[in-house]
Amino acid sequence: MDLKLDPNPTTDPNSVPSPALSHWSAEPGWLNTASSGLPPDVALAALTRAQETWHRGRTDMDGFHAAGERARAAFGRIVGAPAEAIMAGNTTSGLLAPFAAGLPAGGRLVVPEVEFTSNLFPWLVQEARGVEVVTVPASELVAAIDERTTAVAFSLVQSADGSIAAESDIVAAARAYGASVYVDGTQACGWLPVDATRYDLFVVSAYKWLMTPRGAAYGYVAPELAARTLPHAANWYAGAPDVDPYYGPPLRLTDTARRFDTSPSWFCQVGADPALELVERIGVEHIHAHDVALANRFLAGLGLPPGDSAIVAIDLPDARARLESADIRVSARAGRTRLAFHVYNTDADVDAAVTALTS
């Protein structure tokens, strides 16, 4: 990949290194990364090549596997975890499922009441076998953790409005009572620096801020949690790498987090590999500064106070319609208009949105 970054990155702390911006060919006006990220050119090129070889009957299965393993390792480096502790799958809820099933009957899990359902339904279905799931306002999550609590689940960044969880307080409260910490990082990973090893479980659907094809998801599993969790979706890809994975008993699973993998969507992994590498090489810390600066430029343009998130939710009459009439693509969540600012967005995108809402 031809990504030439200055070894001494830009002196402007509010932008990514300028050469990196040339690696996207996005049309102006996409302020909807919280719904879906846009692939860098290298990801599209890799995916196109793979589809062409498939079309011609020249598919390289070993190449698919290698791309998936590179993507696993790159995700691990982005979140500060070793590759052997990273599982790969297709969706957040799918990665959570075996760990939800591993909650003990009679256990108690606490989760915010306004939580994206991919990090809510996997827990709620466990109520049928006696797990107590307690939903509380996000502001009351810490207070709800007590000696009865088995685990706490929350999104590091909330999908509805971009608010960042009081992560340190939540983790401290959970550790004080010996409760496990399960985190959905889908709306954080890729713009907010993360240390996944602070948690027992950290899962991400990568097609948003990590800009992979939809169908690539990854997660960090702490060794202690992995050791006590049954891989309910065990399949040929979770097998030990040094033995034939295809036919017959006995059960022979790898001793890494890969035993929680689901069989990979190969083309998604082919696109994920260069996308994750590019995020890593630019640096999440630079992307964070760039994204939050754009969000705050937008807020300032509306006369609103600055925030700390790349996601902004506003409550203005007809805001979505006014933005879309100016060909600015956003989304509506929880009764408000949601905008999301990412690495391929510029000041011009922000100013166009402000003009659409204030003119």
Tell me: the pLDDT tens digits for 191-245?
999 999 999 999 999 999 999 999 999 999 999 999 999 999 999 988 887 778 8
* Residue-wise pLDDT tens digits, 2-20: 333 333 333 354 456 666 7
Q: Report if residue 351 sits inside a domain.
A: yes
Contact 232, 222 (CB under 8 A): no
Instruction: Supply the mean pLDDT for the chain.
Output: 93
Are 293 and 271 part of one and the same domain? no
Q: Report if residue 56 sits inside a domain.
A: no
Strand intervals (E) in the chain: 86-89, 108-112, 132-136, 151-155, 180-184, 201-205, 217-221, 311-314, 331-333, 336-340
Predicted local confidence at residue 18, as pLDDT: 63
Q: CATH number, domain at 23?
A: 3.90.1150.10
Q: Report if residue 298 sits inside a domain.
A: yes
Are 271 and 289 part of one and the same domain? no
- Helix 41-56 vs helix 266-282: crossing angle, to nearest 10: 160
Mean pLDDT of 166-181: 98
Predicted local confidence at residue 244, as pLDDT: 83
Predicted local confidence at residue 149, as pLDDT: 98
Are 269 and 290 part of one and the same domain? no
Amino acid at 267: F
Mean pLDDT of 153-172: 97
Q: How far apart are CA 31 and CA 212, in angstroms?
A: 17
Are 150 and 174 part of one and the same domain? yes
**Rounded percentage of the chain residues whose pLDDT exceeds 70:** 95
Q: How many CB atoms lie within 10 A of CB 243?
A: 10
Q: Last residue of a domain, which of 216, 245, 280?
A: 280
Are 157 and 239 part of one and the same domain? yes
Q: Which residue has the tokens 């309910």?
A: 232
Number of domains in the chain: 2
Q: Report if residue 50 sits inside a domain.
A: no
Q: CATH number, domain at 206?
A: 3.40.640.10
Mean pLDDT of 251-280: 95
Bridge partners, 312 (sequence order): 339
Are 26 and 88 part of one and the same domain? no
Measure Cα distances from 281 to 2, 92, 285 in Å: 11, 25, 11
Predicted local confidence at residue 17, as pLDDT: 60
Q: How far apart are CA 131 and CA 104, in angstroms?
A: 7
SS (HEC) of 107-119: CEEEEECCCCHHH
Residue 337 pLDDT greater than 80, yes or no: yes
Helix (H) or strand (E) holding 61: helix 61-79
Q: How far apart are CA 178 and CA 224, in angstroms?
A: 13
**Rounded percentage of the chain residues whose pLDDT exceeds 90:** 88
| Cα torsion angle, 62, 84, 151, 162, sign | negative
Q: Report if residue 3 sits inside a domain.
A: no
Amino acid at 3: L
- The secondary structure of residue 131, as a DSSP letter, is -
Are 69 and 111 part of one and the same domain? yes
Residue 47 pLDDT greater than 70, yes or no: yes
Q: Report if residue 333 sits inside a domain.
A: yes
Q: Last residue of a domain, which of 280, 303, 323?
A: 280
Are 245 and 106 part of one and the same domain? yes
Report the candidate in 337, 348, 212 with the shortest Cα–Cα distance to residue 275.
212
Alpha carbon 279 to chain centroid distance? Answer: 13
Are 234 and 308 part of one and the same domain? no
Expressed as residue numbers, the domain containing 323 is 18-39+284-358
Residue 66 pLDDT greater than 80, yes or no: yes
Are 130 and 143 part of one and the same domain? yes
Predicted local confidence at residue 100, as pLDDT: 98
Q: Report if residue 205 sits inside a domain.
A: yes
Are 242 and 171 part of one and the same domain? yes
Band (pLDDT 50/70/90 cuts) for residue 313 is very high
- The secondary structure of residue 239, as a DSSP letter, is B
Report the candidate in 98, 73, 348 with the shortest Cα–Cα distance to residue 218.
73
Q: Last residue of a domain, which of 280, 298, 316?
A: 280
Q: Report if residue 269 sits inside a domain.
A: yes
Predicted local confidence at residue 240, as pLDDT: 80
Are 85 and 204 part of one and the same domain? yes
pTM here is: 0.93
